[in-house]
Structure 1
Amino acid sequence: MQPFLRVEAVALPIASSNVNTDQIIPARFLRKQRAEGFGQYLFHDLRFDDHDNERADFALNQAAYRDAQIMVAGPNFGCGSSREMAVWAIADYGIRAVIAASFGDIFFNNCVRNGVLCVVLPPEQVAGLLAMLEDAPGTTLSIDLERQLVGTRDADYRFEVDPFNRKCLLLGIDGVDYTLQFADRIAAFEARTSAPP
């Protein structure tokens, strides 16, 4: 995984509440291989009509938002089924962080394990960010994980992150990578406990 230190990028507004994992990536794409990339399926049925033509009114199809690396979303983002592919679609598209007032629990944890930062801010701050992005398409935000700040042209917003998750994101490692740092100590413990008395 790529370490997450600081990202300054165009932010994409997805203002709807309760965007679920089936909206993020429809179920028919779940059998694809990870190596093929999932970014092309991000919000597929919201982005495209039945003939695979782009829907002009969907933000991700608008020129100002196409290169977004930050998403600002409505509450309860990522609710629904536990499909990890929803996070793969977000990450493979190039989104490094999602800001919302709340997230589906499983989605939130899958994000951390795949190098995507979920930033929880108060609803009024998220509403202000969404309004700003819709009023001025192409606006950039910054997210500094070391300082735990979301930055706009007018203000900074502090956010909290679980210390273990923060460390893994800063280092670009997941839980398995973290455990493997202790391989020598694990091997020594196993040798001690499996030796005959």
Structure 2
Amino acid sequence: MTHRLLTGPKLVLATHNKGKVREVAALLAPWGFEVVAAGELGLPEPAETEEDFLGNARIKALAAAVASGLPALADDSGFSVAALDGAPGVRTADWAETPAGRDYAMAMGKVEKLARHAADRGAWFSCALVLAWPDGHTEGFLGEAHGAWVWPPRGANGFGYDPMFVPKGGAETFGEMTPEAKHAISHRADAFRQLSAACLPPR
């Protein structure tokens, strides 16, 4: 399969999530791209109407690429719990919605309340990364990080559900790890390794 190479110098990150902006910008830094977030450009957030991560990431990437006239990279990621049949999954952000904004402490509490009596503590993060160009071409990649959910949450690093997830073979939650340690093993890093091998120029 032939992939399209991303050539610089400027790339739009199709997200308004500051945590994702930090993580993806750090991953892209070695290639020297000038990265601007969709939020900085005042681009609206499109409705995420698909039932899978790749579909929703494709919607966001295409919307940003067409609106900006630049290549765009979108991330759609989520937290899944085995005992909840993979929920919240693609509804990860929805579980955190409140009238005042997203409350992930509340969302983590919801997971614990629903799954506390389950013997299976398995959980995983998924991350879809989609590159889109203004002409409508897209490239998509899906990464995962498997482990277990824990309670109570631990650590103030990361974002979202990171404080309640311990990756397989580890002892610290994503919320306790340094950003560098998390980047080395995360679902986003897994997807980015695939993307960089297929679509980024050799360094």
TM-score (norm: length of structure 1): 0.27
More helix by share: 1
> In proportion to residue count, which structure has more strand?
2
> Quick one: higher RCO (CA 8 Å, sep 6+), 1 or 2?
1
